[in-house]
Amino acid sequence: MRMQRKHVLAALLGGVLALDVFAQTLDEDEARIEELMNAPPTVRSVAPAPAASATVDESINETPIAAAVVAPAQSADDEWLAPKRNENAMEFADLAHSIGARVSIVTTNEREHHGVVTSADAKQVTIEVRRKGGNASYVLKKEQILKIESR
């Protein structure tokens, strides 16, 4: 019972002290708030940074870090990863199904032939090309052809 009385007395004493800290009326409370709002900001003391010791490696901090995205350097072997293909590009085997279609064929000597496919098989293709005096037929072997595009 005595312990309970001591706790009650301690709580009452704490409550009285707490009431003394807070404002008694609303006017006093508002005055205290205004005083706090108008007061200059307090400067909090910041602990100084510890001095650099001889064991700290300063070379780590010398290079600034900048985030950047850099494309990797291209090499000669990159083509097999994702070959660049023209939407109009054709395979040699597709020529057999393209009889009558207009095509542009680039040969190994880098000449371009624009014409109509008249025949094609597994070894060669024949195209008909318009010339000044009429039409000319070309027979191009598979080994001669670098690139085929439909037109």
Q: What is the 3-state secondary structure (H, E, C) of 112-136?
A: EEEEEEEEECCCEEEEEEEECCEEE
Residues forming a β-bridge with 87: none
Domain ranges of the chain: 2-38, 87-150
Tell me the residue type at 105.
I
Q: What is the pLDDT along the chain (151 residues), one digit of tens a residue?
A: 556 666 666 666 566 555 555 556 888 888 888 888 888 877 655 556 655 555 666 666 666 666 667 777 777 666 666 656 667 788 888 888 989 999 999 999 989 999 999 999 999 999 999 888 889 998 999 999 999 998 8
Residues forming a β-bridge with 96: none
Cα(18)–Cα(108) distance, rounded to whole angstroms? Answer: 97
Q: What does DSSP assign to residue 54? A: T
Q: What is the CATH number of domain 87-150?
A: 2.30.30.100
pTM equals 0.43
Q: Which of 8, 11, 27, 9 is nearest to 19 (CA)?
A: 11
Q: How many CA atoms lie within 13 A of 78 on its CB side?
A: 6
pLDDT value of position 74: 73
Positive/negative CA dihedral, 6, 11, 14, 15 = negative
